[in-house]
């Protein structure tokens, strides 16, 4: 009996996770039927009934096998096995590969650049997804009445503004609605498609992969445009890997194989069957699937689904930003946690404003989803290519998967990604320049920050005093000690912090207890509390404390202090003073131009006091001057 109850509870929990995954993970790829088939058939240049019918078979075959190869085989069965202690995503993968490399390895920079580029492309995607998804949903109004066309942009802007306005409240409450809505959406996709397939079952001949290949061969001139459009059907596939930490591998795999994948196929084939029967439906084959009475409910449901898809990718941008900060790829910035239960739910106001401005500009500039489709493919295929390269490095190079078996598989997936990316790069001047520009700018910022940060650390070391040498001076002449505990935030525990030397020089006192606290980001998403703190006791009541947190966690010094108190230090918060260095960085004449962006970023980034959540009435910021 107990086994039966346990089995039911386990099944219920898995079902809840599957429904939750539908709401967060599959919003982007789940809204692709709104535009993918229509744009692909138009890209083939098909005109008139017979040409459209021929194009439908070829393109449906290509979409089907793109979903099978790229999403099902590549992501669901291969890349999702490259998890960093349960977490997925471009930075999780980058951290895994970097962890396996020696710190002086010549491969560290290429891996870092690949990770930064993938993240930059994801940001491009985070701008385009809300714009194209919301526009394509609202464009359904034109099916009701062509006169409503002039209101599409205005209504889309209202929805988008509202979407970004509620981001700061977090997805904790609204998240409970996402899963059931997306379940209804996918079931609607399946039912609408199945109605037409029953009428024209001959459309199932498109399941043959040769149909798509022969179609490309017959349309060699248009093949680049066709492939570039077909990739729209797999946009959002990378989210299966990126959001793995929220639900786990198994619920996401089951949600794809049991619900999302069959529903998408049924809907695409239903649209194809409709076009065989009525080629004129190409103006909007998705909405033409619905009977007249269901059109308004479907419009409402599509708007809900696109908002969910957009919200998920925006939340993903916040998570990527947080991970980039923790890994030292970008400057510190204010991160707000919006849920007491889900650690991954964060809000970054600067990123929210940046994305909102970008999305509004896209909607006003491109005006409809067809125009935006050109910009969409580049970011998605570029991000997928970096995932393939880093996953191959990790699985074959680090995990030692069989080269004989998996090298050809990864080579094939790499070639497929190159074909998709190459086809989309041909649309560079039609809008593809946008995600490339965003990714290039963010990549330049990350590289500039990483190099500048390394130079800053070296400059600190050049003028620093080893801690042992400083303690030796205290053996000879110890200054006056005052009551209380001083915690100095230090980048390295073996060097006497500049803030301590300045304090000693000007105030000529030391606190009774001195703790040198170094905060490190581990190459894992979360660090258990028992592994979070390492303490080393030194001479003269000095103590070196290393605090570790995962790249998915927010550093919080008061939590670390609480762990110190629980372990062995019996002090109250009232007797603690936190000393934080606040340097002014200036450039040498020889490096003034290329170091200027780093210096600007350094001066405008969030202060260490804010970042580490140090109480202001216990913080003492001591300035310094560093030349790089």
**Dist CA 213 CA 58 (whole Å):** 8
Q: Does 546 share its domain with 586?
A: yes
Q: What pLDDT score does 5 carry?
A: 41
Structural domain for 299, as ranges: 2-451
456: in domain: no
Q: Alpha carbon of 583 to those of 493, 508, 528, 530: distances in Å?
A: 18, 21, 32, 33
Domain membership flag for residue 209: yes
pLDDT digits (tens, 9 = 90+) for 349-374: 888 999 999 999 989 988 888 778 77
Furthest-apart CA atoms within the chain: distance in Å: 96
pLDDT at 6: 41
Asked if 441 and 554 sit in the same domain, the reply is no
Per the CB < 8 A criterion, the answer to whether 299 and 142 are in contact is no
Question: What is the H or E stretch that residue 509 is in?
Answer: strand 509-522
Q: Residue 458 domain-assigned?
A: no
In this structure, are residues 170 and 314 in contact, taking their beta carbons and an 8 Å threshold? no
Q: Are residues 395 and 508 in the same domain?
A: no
**Residue-level pLDDT at 591:** 64
- Residue 82 in any domain: the answer is yes
Q: Is residue 413 part of a domain?
A: yes
Among 401, 419, 451, the domain boundary falls at: 451
Q: What is the structure's pLDDT at 535?
A: 92
Q: What is the pLDDT of residues 233-264, one digit of tens each?
A: 998 888 888 878 777 888 899 999 999 999 99
CATH code at position 201: 1.20.1740.10
Q: What is the pLDDT of residue 285?
A: 94
Q: Are residues 467 and 599 in the same domain?
A: yes
457 in a structural domain: no
Residue of 323, 325, 329 lying closest to 343 (CA atoms): 323
Do 467 and 447 fall within a single domain? no
Chain segment 27-49, per-residue pLDDT in tens: 889 989 988 999 999 999 888 77
Which of residues 451, 474, 506 is at a domain's end? 451
Q: Is there a single domain that holds both residue 475 and residue 437?
A: no
Q: Is the pTM of this model over 0.95?
A: no
Residue 159 maps to a domain: yes
- Which of 403, 428, 451 corresponds to the end of one domain? 451
CA angle 326, 354, 426 (to 5 degrees): 100
> CA 540 → CA 416, 473, 492, 493, distances in Å?
63, 11, 19, 16
Return phi, psi of residue 100, to 5°: -80, -15
| pLDDT < 70 positions in the chain | 1-13, 169-176, 337-345, 589-594
The structural domain count of the chain equals: 2
223 and 323, same domain (yes or no):
yes
């Amino acid at each position: 009996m107990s086994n039966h109850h346990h089995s039911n509870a386990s099944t219920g929990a898995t079902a809840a996770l599957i429904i939750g995954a539908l709401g967060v993970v599959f919003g982007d790829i789940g809204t692709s039927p709104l535009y993918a088939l229509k744009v692909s058939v138009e890209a083939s240049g098909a005109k008139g009934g017979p040409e459209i019918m021929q194009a439908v078979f070829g393109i449906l075959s290509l979409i089907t096998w793109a979903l099978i190869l790229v999403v099902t085989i590549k992501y669901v069965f291969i890349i999702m096995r490259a998890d960093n202690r349960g977490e997925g995503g471009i930075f999780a993968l980058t951290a895994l590969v970097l962890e396996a490399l020696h710190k002086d390895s010549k491969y560290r920079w290429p891996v870092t650049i690949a990770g930064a580029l993938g993240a930059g492309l994801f940001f491009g995607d985070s701008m385009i997804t809300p714009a194209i998804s919301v526009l394509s949903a609202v464009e359904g109004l034109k099916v009701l009445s062509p006169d409503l066309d002039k209101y599409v942009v205005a209504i889309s802007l209202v929805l988008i503004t509202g979407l970004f306005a509620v981001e700061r409240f977090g997805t904790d409450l609204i998240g409970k609605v996402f899963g059931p809505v997306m379940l209804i959406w996918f079931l609607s996709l399946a039912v609408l498609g199945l109605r037409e397939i029953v009428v024209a079952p001959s459309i199932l001949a498109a399941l043959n992969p040769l149909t798509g290949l022969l179609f490309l061969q017959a349309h060699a001139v248009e093949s680049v445009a066709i492939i570039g459009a077909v990739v729209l059907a797999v946009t959002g596939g990378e989210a299966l890997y990126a959001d793995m930490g929220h639900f786990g591998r198994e619920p996401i795999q089951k949600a794809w194989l049991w619900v999302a994948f069959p529903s998408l196929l049924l809907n695409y084939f239903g649209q194809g069957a409709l076009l065989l029967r009525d080629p004129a439906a190409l103006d909007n084959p998705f909405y033409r699937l619905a009977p007249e009475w269901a059109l308004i409910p479907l419009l409402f449901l599509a708007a809900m689904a696109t908002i969910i898809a957009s919200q998920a990718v925006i939340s993903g941008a916040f998570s990527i930003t947080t991970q980039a900060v923790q890994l030292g790829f970008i400057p510190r910035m204010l991160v707000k946690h919006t849920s007491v239960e889900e650690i991954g739910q964060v809000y970054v106001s600067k990123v929210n404003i940046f994305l909102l401005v970008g999305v509004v500009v896209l909607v006003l500039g491109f005006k409809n989803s067809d125009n935006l489709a050109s910009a969409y493919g580049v970011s998605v295929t570029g991000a997928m290519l970096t995932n393939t390269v880093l996953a191959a490095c990790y699985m074959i190079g680090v995990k030692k998967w069989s080269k004989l078996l998996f090298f050809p598989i990864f080579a094939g997936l790499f070639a497929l990604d190159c074909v998709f990316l190459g086809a989309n790069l041909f649309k560079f001047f039609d809008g593809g320049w946008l995600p490339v520009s965003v990714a290039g700018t963010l990549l330049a910022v990350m590289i500039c920050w990483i190099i500048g940060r390394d130079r800053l650390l070296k400059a600190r070391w050049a003028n620093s005093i080893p801690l042992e040498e400083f303690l030796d001076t205290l053996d000879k002449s110890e200054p006056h000690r005052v009551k209380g505990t001083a915690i100095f935030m230090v980048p390295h525990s073996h060097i006497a912090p500049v803030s301590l030397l300045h304090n000693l020089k000007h105030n000529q006192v030391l606190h009774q207890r001195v703790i040198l606290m170094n905060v490190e980001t581990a190459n894992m998403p979360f660090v258990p509390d028992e592994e979070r703190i390492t303490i080393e006791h030194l001479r003269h009541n000095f103590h070196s404390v290393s605090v570790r947190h995962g790249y998915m966690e927010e550093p919080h010094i008061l939590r670390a202090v609480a762990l110190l108190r629980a372990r062995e230090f019996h002090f109250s918060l009232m007797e603690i003073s936190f000393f934080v260095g606040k340097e002014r960085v200036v450039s040498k004449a020889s490096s003034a131009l290329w170091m200027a962006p780093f210096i600007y970023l350094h001066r405008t980034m969030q202060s260490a006091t804010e970042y580490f959540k140090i109480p202001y009435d216990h913080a003492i910021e001591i300035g310094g001057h560093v030349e790089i």
